[in-house]
Amino acid sequence: MDLTQAIRARRSIRKFKPGASIPREDVETMLEAAMMSPSACNTRPWEFFVVEDPKRKEALRKAHPYASMLETAALAIVVCARPEDQSGVCDGYWPLDCGAAVENLLLQAVDLGCGACWCGCWPSPRAAALQEILNTQSVPVALVAVGVPDESPAARGHYDPGKVTWLA
């Protein structure tokens, strides 16, 4: 699959095949793709928590009102920001940097035949609940459910020329 195909094939998958697992090599490939994303001044202000433990996945599901798909997902990857890693001219760009990392992760998941769903955490109060579950001071920006897809939703995005202004 090339990049154009992966972008157009990406969907938010909310139904996964129960009991299916994702090979560790595939998870590491997704994490590598996430860490290859750009960041302000190359500060890379992120860390990633891979949650496979059923009890901890259940705790995440209960803490996040839109993460019910964790019930059947093979795992969750929580993308956390480390704002303290940025200062000076790069200060404050960590939400954008983590968003770019999440998008790379999602596209790599598609390429590997996995399904994934991005559930936002920050700036909602649910970020604090995830910090407690993960035992971290880092800021949970996004929770990504990953698994073997058990649905094929139609595309919801499309090119909208009305949202483009050309300044020639």
Give tens-digit pLDDT for 43-100.
999 999 999 999 999 999 999 999 999 999 999 999 999 999 998 889 999 999 999 9
Whether the pTM exceeds 0.85: the reply is: yes
Coil, strand, or helix at residue 74? coil
Number of domains in the chain: 1
157 within a domain of the structure (yes/no): no
Coil, strand, or helix at residue 122? coil
125 within a domain of the structure (yes/no): yes
- Residues 105, 79: contact at Cβ < 8 Å? yes
- Residues 66, 91: contact at Cβ < 8 Å? no
Give the residue ranges of DSSP H helices in 11-151.
24-35, 54-63, 94-111, 126-134
The residue-averaged pLDDT of 8-33 equals: 97
22 within a domain of the structure (yes/no): yes
Question: Which residues form the domain of 58?
Answer: 3-151
- Residues 130, 64: contact at Cβ < 8 Å? yes
129 within a domain of the structure (yes/no): yes
CATH number at residue 62: 3.40.109.10
Under the banding of pLDDT at 50, 70 and 90, the label for residue 1 is confident
Residue range 114-161, pLDDT digits in tens: 999 999 999 999 999 999 999 999 999 999 999 999 999 999 989 999
53 within a domain of the structure (yes/no): yes
How far apart are alpha carbons 162 and 55 in whole angstroms?
46
161 within a domain of the structure (yes/no): no
156 within a domain of the structure (yes/no): no
164 within a domain of the structure (yes/no): no
Compute the residue count for the chain: 168
